[in-house]
């Protein structure tokens, strides 16, 4: 299905919602719940009328860490949702396929792709909902650490890439707690892991230099190297600033 991005432009987002509504209101409802709660598509498809009907909030359990998120249902969406569900049974699925079985993920993806193409939105897929939820949260709070935990990502840089935002290097360089710093020290010393990782980075730079000096290397490689070096220079400059702050703090404490 390829890489999909969050929908950041409000006009595009509204156009996509309207197109979903015009196609079938159930797809609009599915999408609205997805970008409101951050639920995975397969979990949305399991929702039944009794889970959402006439409710002011929808609670969802996200990820392997079982983090609870609460979506405050907007009044206009609540009217649409309740009107759509009013004539079905409490145990019926809110987004159903044939014979009141849950809609398949494949069908949901096909509709997203088809409707997205009508508003010039491509690529798009099931992850678009969750990525849009995550980007909206980051845009309103700036809290990448919470999102990293919520999405069970190994590092903030992965979460930044997930929502299509440039990383905050200072935040990435700083661990969130004393315990994390202690854990990093332990892991870097364990089996000389830190030294091995530094050596691997040096070897990679040497290899880049070797190809850089080869006259047979094509122009696209130099463009890639230029972008990489710009990011590396930014990272190194920020690292030096952070290191200086740490050294000043150590001096203040008499270390």
Helices (H), 190-218: 193-212
3-state secondary structure of 241: helix
The predicted pLDDT at position 153 comes to: 81
State which of 78-87, 138-147, 231-240 shows the largest mean pLDDT: 78-87
For residue range 59-73, list pLDDT tens digits in order.
888 876 788 888 999
Give yes or no for a contact between 159 and 144, defined as CB atoms under 8 angstroms apart: yes
State which of 25-29, 36-40, 202-206, 217-221 shows the largest mean pLDDT: 25-29
Kindly tell me if the per-residue pLDDT of 230 is higher than 80. no
Kindly tell me if the per-residue pLDDT of 51 is higher than 90. yes
Q: How is domain 10-150 classified at the CATH fold level?
A: hpI Integrase; Chain A (1.10.443)
Q: Which of 78, 61, 81, 80 is nearest to 69 (CA)?
A: 61
Compute the average pLDDT of residues 216-245: 78
State which of 138-147, 214-223, 227-236 shows the largest mean pLDDT: 138-147
For residue range 171-199, list pLDDT tens digits in order.
555 555 677 678 778 888 888 888 998 99
> Can you tell me the distance from the alpha carbon of 219 to that of 139, in angstroms, rounded to the nearest whole number?
36
Kindly tell me if the per-residue pLDDT of 168 is higher than 50. yes
> Can you tell me the distance from the alpha carbon of 125 to that of 203, in angstroms, rounded to the nearest whole number?
38
Q: With residue 28 as reference, give the H or E element that holds it.
A: helix 25-37
Q: Where are the domains of the chain?
A: 10-150, 178-252
If you average pLDDT over every residue of the chain, what do you get?
A: 85
- What Cα–Cα distance (Å) separates residue 97 from each residue in 26, 82, 101, 102? 10, 19, 5, 5
Kindly tell me if the per-residue pLDDT of 1 is higher than 60. no
- Kindly give, in sequence order, each residue whose CB lies less than 8 Å from that of residue 32, ignoring residues fewer than 6 positions away: 17, 77
């Amino acid at each position: 299905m390829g890489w999909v991005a969050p929908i950041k432009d409000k006009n595009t987002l509204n156009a996509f919602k309207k197109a979903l509504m015009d196609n079938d209101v159930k797809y609009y409802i599915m999408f609205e719940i997805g970008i409101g709660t951050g639920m995975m598509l397969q979990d949305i498809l399991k929702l039944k009328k009794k889970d959402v009907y006439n409710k002011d909030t929808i609670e969802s359990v996200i990820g392997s860490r079982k983090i609870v998120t609460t979506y405050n249902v907007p009044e206009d969406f609540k009217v649409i949702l309740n009107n759509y569900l009013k004539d079905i049974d409490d145990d019926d699925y809110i987004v159903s396929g044939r014979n009141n079985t849950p809609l398949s993920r494949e069908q949901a993806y096909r509709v997203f792709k088809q409707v997205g193409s009508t508003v010039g939105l491509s690529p798009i897929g099931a992850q678009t909902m969750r990525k849009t939820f995550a980007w909206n949260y980051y845009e309103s709070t700036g809290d990448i650490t919470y999102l990293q935990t919520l999405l069970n990502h190994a590092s903030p840089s992965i979460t930044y890439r997930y929502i299509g935002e440039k990383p905050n290097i200072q935040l990435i360089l700083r661990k969130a707690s004393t315990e994390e710093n202690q854990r990093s020290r332990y892991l870097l010393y364990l089996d000389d892991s830190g030294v091995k990782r530094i050596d691997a980075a040096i070897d990679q730079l040497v290899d880049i230099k070797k190809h850089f000096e080869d006259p047979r290397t094509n122009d696209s490689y130099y463009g890639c190297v230029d972008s990489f070096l710009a990011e590396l220079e930014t990272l190194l400059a920020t690292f030096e600033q952070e290191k200086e702050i740490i050294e000043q703090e150590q001096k203040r404490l008499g270390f």
